[in-house]
């Protein structure tokens, strides 16, 4: 179990390199521990552009109660791990508890598969716009959309706004303004 406020980040083969590394490093700078969880622990996964990231833990062993939020990066990885029952369960728990659920680009596939985007204002890659709308969400073509505890962005160029949105939600949730 993490000792400081921690964020769970899903990781897997062919993740979008910048959408893992920029949030990970920015959140560490902000004082959070970032736990990268993949299908297996201690595995080096390569991003779409070849950058490696070692998983700190296995998704199956994670508990949402250990974290203040979750990051769903994009790439081709989300289409693979969104099929895992534990990924969907964790996302449903984060949502039920009003904790940060952040997705960028194709990372939105994970909350879609978890069934938690209904009646949420969100964005993502234009490539998943139909999926977002079919999930019952309102798609907005903006660099960042913050709707309660949900934060979403479209692409790597949106990462600065994405992280500002994440930090805004995390700041409110740690003061109890979003919970309850």
CATH for 90: 3.40.50.880
Q: Is residue 108 part of a domain?
A: yes
Q: Is residue 180 part of a domain?
A: no
CA distance 90 to 166: 18
Neighbours of 72 (CB within 10 A): 29
95 annotated active-site: no
* Confidence tier at 1 by pLDDT (50, 70, 90): very low
Q: What is the pLDDT of residues 101-149, one digit of tens each?
A: 999 999 999 999 999 999 999 999 999 999 999 999 999 999 999 999 9
pTM: 0.94
Task: Quote the pLDDT of residue 20.
Answer: 98
Q: Is residue 41 part of a domain?
A: yes
Q: How much is the average pLDDT of 155-162?
A: 98
Q: What is the pLDDT of residues 13-69, one digit of tens each?
A: 999 999 999 999 999 999 999 999 999 999 999 999 999 999 999 999 999 999 999
Weakest mean pLDDT among 33-47, 71-85, 161-175 = 161-175
Judge contact between 127 and 16, C-beta under 8 A: no
Task: Quote the pLDDT of residue 4.
Answer: 83
Q: Is residue 153 part of a domain?
A: yes
Q: Which position among 49, 95, 106, 149 bears the catalytic label?
A: 106
Task: Quote the pLDDT of residue 98.
Answer: 98
Residue of 46 and 1 predicted with greater confidence: 46
Residue of 180 and 49 predicted with greater confidence: 49
Q: How many domains does the chain have?
A: 1
Q: What is the pLDDT of residues 60-76, one digit of tens each?
A: 999 999 999 999 999 99
Task: Quote the pLDDT of residue 179.
Answer: 39
Determine the structural domain holding residue 161 and report its residue range.
6-170
Distance, CA of 118 to chain centre: 17
HEC assignment per residue over 73-133 = CCECHHHHHCCCHHHHHHHHHHHHCCCEEEEEHHHHHHHHHHCCCCCCEECCCHHHHHHHH
């Amino acid at each position: 179990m993490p000792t400081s406020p921690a964020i769970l980040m899903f990781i897997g083969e062919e993740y979008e390199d910048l959408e893992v590394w920029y949030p990970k490093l920015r959140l560490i700078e902000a004082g959070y521990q970032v736990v990268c969880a993949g299908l297996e622990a201690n595995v080096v996964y390569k991003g779409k552009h070849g950058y490696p990231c070692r998983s700190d833990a296995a998704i199956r062993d994670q508990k949402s109660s250990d974290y203040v939020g979750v990051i769903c990066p994009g790439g081709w990885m989300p289409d693979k791990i969104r099929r895992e029952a534990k990924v969907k369960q964790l996302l449903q728990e984060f949502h039920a508890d009003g904790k940060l659920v952040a997705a960028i680009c194709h990372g939105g596939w994970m909350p879609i598969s978890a069934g938690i985007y209904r009646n949420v204002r969100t964005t993502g890659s234009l490539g998943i716009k139909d999926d977002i709308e079919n999930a019952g969400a309102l798609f907005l073509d903006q660099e960042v959309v913050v709707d309660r505890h949900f934060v979403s962005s479209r692409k790597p160029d949106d990462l600065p706004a994405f992280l500002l949105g994440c930090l805004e939600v995390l700041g409110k949730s740690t003061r109890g303004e979003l919970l309850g």
